[in-house]
Structure 1
Amino acid sequence: MANLLYLVHRLPYPPNKGDKVRSYHLLRHLLQRHRVFLGTFIDDPDDEQHLPTLRAMCPDLHVERIVPRTAKVKSLHGLLTGEALTLAYYRHEGMQRWVQDVAHQHPLQASVVFSSAMAQYAQPLAPQVPMLVDFVDVDSAKWTQYAPAHRWPLSMLYRREGQRLLAYERTVAAQAHRSYFVTPNETALFVSQAPECRDKVQSLSNGVDADFFSPDPARPSPFPAGEQAVVFTGAMDYWPNIDGVSWFVADMLPRLRVHWPRARFYIVGRSPSAQVLALAGEHVEVTGTVPDVRPYLQHAAAVVAPLRVARGIQNKILEAMAMQQAVITVNSCADAIGASAGQGLLRAETPEAFVQALQPLLDTPDHAAALGVRARAYVEQGFSWQAHLSGIDHDLANLQDAAITRSLETAVHV
């Protein structure tokens, strides 16, 4: 059993949004064999109630609070220093002191870093404490992708952030023992921009908890009888989700209602932005936080993920498929998961294509149900968290063997 330092940019519990799903399951996986010292941030006061759960799991838990509005102002200091604003956003003296104290008090075999911004706390310990870095996605590419969708000065800031963050990602990956990305496509993208790190990066896919996300005949529907609910799920303060639902409401929903007047679009997810709240109306329901997303998925007539700006594997798609729902999404999201139309993952790049793909699901519920059964079978077979996250075990075992060898060599010389 090794002592591991685990650094996460957002409290990894509850697993109610994309990054927290992955960071939580990675924590659970590490705890199966190791003692994990967890350092993290809280940016949502609602998460305070979950601290006892994590304290019961880890021998030490250190939490710093972030007020997003204040942190954004603080991050602008990066314009003076020339660094990525993301690093200044997550820089905190209390976290730095805690990491140094843990390293002083406990022999650490490795640090596991979740998201590039947290590497700034592990870098001073390397190479004595080797770093394993879960980048998840190429975040720098995300910021670069945001730029054309926004006006100046945001477009300039996003473009700058992409450039500066990529430089930092390359530095971190060069220092790390191993770095991970969520899909082979993300791995290939990073290698194309950081060829010097080619031999130090690999893919580590997402999974889905198919026991939790499973249909239940006794689960009641949240929708009025006779309504054809088209559902999108996700954190609604996240720009790719905001852009996706805005696109659907503007360009797909009017076409949809011409043929299916009983169709209603449900935007299900926490923290809806002002732009999302403004979409609510007679034919659009914005739920905000719901106690359980599963009823909305199980009883939907159709599930869509119209994400024009997205990176990596979308947990929302895996969860819907596990709930026996076919999902309509764009090519980039479908490519990351790999299922075919016959396995419940339908592709559409234009509003017309989305409406066309929805037609057989809304017209023929039995057809939709049959595709849903195949969708669940696909993710059950290919997206187990345990199977995917075992990829990190090999690297940890190698680090432990290397540490034992160094200790023996030191003893012989003494």
Structure 2
Amino acid sequence: MKLLVIYPYAPWPLDRGTYQRTFHLLKSLAAHHEVDLIALVEKDEDTTEKHAIFSGFCRSVEFVPFEHPTWQKLIPTRLLNPLPANVQHWQQPEIKEAVDRHLQPGRYDLVHICDLVMMPYVLPHRHHTPFVVDRSRVDLQFQLMEQGTLNLPPREKLLRWEALAKLWFYERKLAREAKLEVVCGPDDETFLHARVSKKAPVMVVANGVDLDYFQPAAAPDPRDAEPTVIFCGAMDYSPNVDALRWFFGGGIHDRLLKKLPGVKTLIVGKNPIDEVKAYGSRPGVIVTGGVPDVRPYYRRSWIQMVPLRIGGGTRLKIVESLAIGTPVVSTSIGAQGLELQHGHDVLLADTEEAFASGIARALTDGDLRTSLEENGIATANQRFGWPAIGTRLARRYESLLSAEPTTSAVAHGSLA
């Protein structure tokens, strides 16, 4: 098959969870099919390294410079625009020109886009070239969860409701027009069928892990001497910020310190906002900011905590942690879609007291940690390797077109 892949970013370096997913799925698709890539990059960015990386497995690579515009004002521009604000934000003539130039009838069998913000560019071509969308998160679900969790000021709430109304209609349009929606977990699939369209074509492709990269440490005991907890992720991402707000503001950290006064907490991830940086003044808390390699931080930590309250998709931090051998204590929302078993390869807790107790239990019970570590490594190796996940997706794409005439044959009239 000939695929055109369109990304709203060039996923390299792999310093964000979404980059991990989109990079490895792209690489796997390219191992099975001929792939041309169009990706947006920052204006004036040096793309030499990125071009070399993606040219290593894609047939052709085109980067389109993109500069984030200012967000539209509600009145009159945004209110009168039928597109949801988050979709309109990504519209740019140069991107349309590049997509139109590539998407000539008969040139590709299928278009793979990342997230619904790219849909306006492929809709005009859907009658001669079908498209699928890989969703790092379901936008409507994510925004509804943010709305119900975050304490937003009145003006922001008004903007959110305006966006939600348009987004619901746009999600329904996507469900009608896309050949397939690829989502991260069963919860995403359930949401789409319950809240958007029962007929939406959906495939669950859980996030995976690079098993060669995230290997357990060769040394027998690389852990810090003191009980150490890690939380890993982009620290300007609202679900991660909210998770830390719950952990510290909800009293979980205080409860933990009472149980284990010497516990250390590592907050590891790029772009920490001021609120996150301020947690570094608390006892035993270290905010690292971005790091060149997260693996040493995983390996020195006794456990990873995932106190997420806003879900949608699945959490790469969990599968990375399992693969490298760092046990995980998570909320149910944080671990959704991964089908992990409480007490076997993860500990799950959803209240402040239960979450603090779960962390304390894992830190003080060496046999439990060993069991979680061994079972987590086995689970990661059995279920979450990217090549197997990508192969399944590539085969599904083949089956989408196997029961109907190819687009190239139709375009040239050979089946008329």
For 1:140 and 1:332, locate their aligned partners in 2 and report how far apart those are by CA, in whole Å: 16
Instruction: Give the match's secondary structure for 2:248.
Output: helix
Aligned to 2:372: 371
Q: Is 2:295 aligned against 1:288?
A: no
Q: Is 2:322 aligned against 1:321?
A: yes
Write 1 or 2 for the structure with the bigger share of helix.
Answer: 1
Instruction: Give the match's secondary structure for 2:280.
Output: coil
Instruction: Give the match's secondary structure for 1:343.
Output: coil
Decide which of 157, 160, 166 is 2:159's aligned counterpart: 157
Aligned to 1:187: 189
Aligned to 1:357: 358
Q: Cα distance, 1:75 vs. partner?
A: 9.8
Aligned to 1:27: 26
Moved more, 74-83 or 332-341: 74-83
For 2:26 and 2:269, locate their aligned partners in 1 and report how far apart those are by CA, in whole Å: 24
Q: Cα distance, 1:303 vs. partner?
A: 0.8
Moved more, 275-284 or 317-326: 275-284
Q: Cα distance, 1:212 vs. partner?
A: 1.3
1:137-195 CA distance string (max 9 Å, x none): 32112112212411221122223323322211211221112222211221111011233
Instruction: Give the match's secondary structure for 1:407.
Output: helix
Aligned to 1:133: 133
- Answer whether contact 1:219 1:295 (CA < 8 A) is retained: no
Q: Is 2:39 aligned against 1:36?
A: no
1:46-65 CA distance string (max 9 Å, x none): 88443431234323323234
1:314-371 CA distance string (max 9 Å, x none): 1111111111122111112334211112322111111211111112221133431221
The alignment yields a C-alpha RMSD, in angstroms, of 2.7
Aligned to 2:252: 252
For 2:220 and 2:78, locate their aligned partners in 1 and report how far apart those are by CA, in whole Å: 49
Aligned to 1:99: 99
- Map 1:50-129; keep pairs closer than 5 Å: 50-68=50-68, 70-72=69-71, 77-104=77-104, 107-129=107-129
For 2:413 and 2:106, locate their aligned partners in 1 and report how far apart those are by CA, in whole Å: 19
For 2:37 and 2:415, locate their aligned partners in 1 and report how far apart those are by CA, in whole Å: 35
Q: Give ranges in structure 1 of 5+ residues lacking alignment.
A: none
1:14-67 CA distance string (max 9 Å, x none): 232121111111101111122222122235988844343123432332323444
Higher RCO structure (Cα 8 Å, ≥6 apart): 2
Q: Tell me the TM-score normalized by structure 1.
A: 0.90
Q: Is 2:174 aligned against 1:175?
A: no
For 1:90 and 1:220, locate their aligned partners in 2 and report how far apart those are by CA, in whole Å: 47
Measured at CA, do residues 152 and 196 of structure 1 come closer, stay the same or move farther in structure 2, by a change above 3 Å? same
Instruction: Give the match's secondary structure for 2:10.
Output: coil
Q: Tell me the TM-score normalized by structure 2.
A: 0.90
Instruction: Give the match's secondary structure for 2:414.
Output: helix
For 1:206 and 1:242, locate their aligned partners in 2 and report how far apart those are by CA, in whole Å: 21
For 2:408 and 2:67, locate their aligned partners in 1 and report how far apart those are by CA, in whole Å: 44
For 2:179 and 2:45, locate their aligned partners in 1 and report how far apart those are by CA, in whole Å: 35
Aligned to 1:410: 413
